[in-house]
Structures are given as structure tokens and as C-alpha cells.
Structure 1
Amino acid sequence: MTNQEQTQEPIDQETLAAEQSETIAIEGMAIDPAYVVELEQKLEQATNQAVEEKDRALRTVAEMENLRRRTALDVEKAHKFALEKFASELLPVLDNLERTLQVADKTNEAVKPLLEGVELTLKSMANSVAKFGVIAIDPQGQLFDPNQHQAMSMIENPDVAPNTVIAVMQKGYELNGRVIRPAMVMVSKAPTASVNVEV
């Protein structure tokens, strides 16, 4: 037998367990096993707390990113639709200029220069508001769309398909794709079947 084999004797399990239950020797220092268990529990608590804090930090970052996105959208909408109230106040002026052109006597030579001025004013004003995203909705001949039109009446008309706009009483307007005033329209409906009653 070599010297090394002689030093490795079988270890008695009971002796080993008894030694471990009393103290644990680390680098020449004796440590109580209860203290090791306590340290392991504290390590587990600290690890759990670190995981919770990391999760909380990730949630906070996600919430801040969502808030940043929402704020950017709100600012974009505020810029896009800031003129909505002002544009709504201009719409009656456009309506009145259009009505003036519709009811004026175009055959009267004395009124022609005035009508030309009204027409130029209407075009200029319509172009000005169009630059800021205000566009007229004139649905003559189109299918009725409740998102853009307001039906004032329904009339039987066999010449057109049902739910077709047959007359526009007042143009609607939209600002950057959002309806600020629906068009007031007259809509066709299918003719009712006449009932023949014989006497």
C-alpha cells in the first residue's frame, strides 16, 4: 500500500454527521450550521427581493414608454385639430356666400360685378381653409354614409338605388379626416308596392 492509500480510511457516517451537526469548519474557522441556514434564508429573501425590484423597474420603464407614446399622440392630435372650433365658426360664412350665388339674379347686369366679387371671395376662402385641412363633403349621388351625412328626409325615387343621396341641403365639412359637420342630405328610398284593391 502506498502512503496515500493508507491515509484514506473509510469514514464512519455517524461520526461525520455528528461533526457536521456541531460545527462546520471553513478555512480553519468553526461555523454553526444554524448560522449557515440563516444565511441561506437571507440570501433567498435578497434574491426574491432583487427579482421583484427588477420586475418593478421593467414595469416602470414600460409605463413611461406608453406615457411618452400617448403624450406624443395627444400633441399630434392637438396640432392637427386645434383649428376645429375656429373652422366650425367659418362654415356658416362659406354657406352664406354659396347661398348668395345660388339665389342671385345672374341675368341682371348691375349685379354681375357684385356676384363675381362674391364668387372670388368664396373661392379664396375655400382655398384658405383647405390649406389647413378643412375639406367640403358634397355627397350628391353617393350612397348615404351615417358617419358623414345627416338624413333630413327620405323620398321614394325609382330612378336611383335606395339609400342614395339625391339632394344636398347643406354641405358637410371635415378637418384632417374628422367630420366637423355632417352634410344635410335627402336620401332616396325604394318605392312601396302599390296594393290593388278590387271592389
Structure 2
Amino acid sequence: MHSENPTPGAQAPADVPDLDTDTLGNELEQLRHALANLREEALRERAELDNQRKRLVRDVDQARRFANEKLLSQLLPVLDSLEAGLVAAAGESGPLKDGLELTLRQLLKVGEDNGLTQVNPQGQAFDPEWHQAISQLASPGAAPGTVVQVFQKGYALNERLLRPALVVVAAD
């Protein structure tokens, strides 16, 4: 039976170069280092692709949430006019007032369905992030810094301010 393993003391075949163990060890170490670098680079690229994917998902979500911002902003004066008309018709009744109320409710419902919310801070503490004070008023029944009158309601779209509420604040 013929064995493929050379016997001790036999010469290596002529087609195998004579390499010493130091050279092979150095080559092996270089290959291990190159492999580690490739693995690290692949991990970095995978992380970068994952980050890009997350940014894209976030950007698409933001674009979807605020796509109607311009249209809803342009409807705010219409809402203000309807509310002013209802204030003017406060003592009256009839189909005109009923129509105004119905139209206002429908517009507010459309806005709410698209993420629009009213900011009506009557009686709340003044918040400069959401309210714009147009004056202060001595108000004995209200705590200082409290909104005592709302001239114009504010609006937010998906928790982002579209227009601050115009308010009068109780003086110190």
C-alpha cells in the first residue's frame, strides 16, 4: 500500500518551494491582519447602511407628517373668520349661525384628521414656546403669568407649532 504522507527523512517534492516557518508565520499574520481589516470595514459599511436606512425612514415619516403644513397654514385665517362670525352672531339663532357652526366643526375635523390641533391657553400659564403675549393686564382673580385672554388661537401640526396663540397675560 502506498502512503501519501512522506516518510521521515524523505525529500519534499520538487514542485513545493522550500519555505521556512518564519516566512510562513509572517504571511499568515499578514493574512490574518488583512482579514480582520476586511471584517472591520464590512461591519462599518453595514452600520453606515443601517444608519442611512434609519435616516431615510425618519425623513419619509417627517415628510408624510408635515406634507399638509402649507395648506393647513393657509386655512387658519378661514377658521379665524368663522370663529369671529360666530362670536358676532352669539345672541342670534337660525340657519346662518347653524351653518357657520357646522362649517367650523367640519373644517376642524378635517384639520384634526391631518394632525392639526388648536392651542387655546385660556387660564393656563404663559408659555413663550407656544404663546405670543401682546400685552399684560392687572387681573386680581388670576395668578401672575397666567393667560387671561386669547385674541387668536394658536395651532400645532403633529405637535409642531404652526402659529402661536396671541394672548394677554396677567401682570405681576
TM class, shorter-length: 0.7 to 0.9
Deviation readout 1:140-199 (Å, 9 max, x if unpaired): 001111221111112232321111000101001111222111111111121xxxxxxxxx
2:153 is equivalent to residue 171 of structure 1: yes
Aligned length: 162
Q: Provide the residue aligned with 1:187 in structure 2.
A: 169
Helix, strand or coil at the partner of 1:29: coil
2:56 is equivalent to residue 74 of structure 1: no
Q: Provide the residue aligned with 1:151 in structure 2.
A: 133
Separation in structure 2 between the aligned mates of residue 40 and residue 148 of structure 1, nearest angstrom: 69
CA spacing shift, 1:126–1:187, aligned 2, 3 Å:
same
2:102 is equivalent to residue 120 of structure 1: yes
Deviation readout 1:20-60 (Å, 9 max, x if unpaired): xxxxx986339767x43222222211111110110010111
Q: Normalising by the residue count of structure 1, what TM-score does the alignment of the two structures yield? A: 0.73
- C-alpha displacement of 1:68: 1.2
- C-alpha displacement of 1:103: 2.4
Pairwise mapping of residues 134-149 of structure 1 onto structure 2 (< 5 A)?
134-149=116-131
Deviation readout 1:51-110 (Å, 9 max, x if unpaired): 011001011111111111111111111111111111101111000111112224735x7x
Q: 1:99 aligns with which of 70, 77, 84?
A: 84
CA spacing shift, 1:136–1:105, aligned 2, 3 Å:
closer
Q: What percentage of residue pairs aligned between the two structures are identical?
A: 42
CA spacing shift, 1:77–1:27, aligned 2, 3 Å:
farther
Q: Provide the residue aligned with 1:43 in structure 2.
A: 28
Greater RCO (Cα-Cα under 8 Å, separation 6 or more): 2
Q: Normalising by the residue count of structure 2, what TM-score does the alignment of the two structures yield? A: 0.84
**Long gaps (5+) in structure 2:** 1-7
Separation in structure 2 between the aligned mates of residue 149 and residue 174 of structure 1, nearest angstrom: 11
Helix, strand or coil at the partner of 2:104: helix
Separation in structure 1 between the aligned mates of residue 68 and residue 90 of structure 2, nearest angstrom: 35
**Which entry has the higher C-alpha Rg, 1 or 2?**
1
Cα RMSD (Å) of the superposition? 2.3
**Long gaps (5+) in structure 1:** 1-24, 191-199
- Which letter does structure 2 place at the counterpart of 1:36? T
